[in-house]
Amino acid sequence: MTDETEDKNVKVNTEELNNICDECKGEDESVTQNLILTGFKLCKSCRISKTIFPL
């Protein structure tokens, strides 16, 4: 029974790590890195623009 729940968690985690930015919908390697560091799925350029213009 624990094997089934572990398989579901792996599938959910894999779907979250798809390297697609939530802001610009572009694919970039930095999305996964920023997700791990900050908890937000933003690419490098969107993260910089959100830091400079936080509206």
Q: What's the confidence (pLDDT) of residue 5?
A: 63
Q: What's the confidence (pLDDT) of residue 17?
A: 77
Q: What's the confidence (pLDDT) of residue 9?
A: 60
Tens digit of pLDDT at every position of the chain (55 positions): 566 666 666 665 666 778 999 999 999 999 999 999 999 999 999 999 999 998 7
pTM of the model: 0.65
SS3 23: coil
CA distance 15 to 13: 5
CA distance 8 to 21: 23
Domain segments of the chain: what residues?
2-52
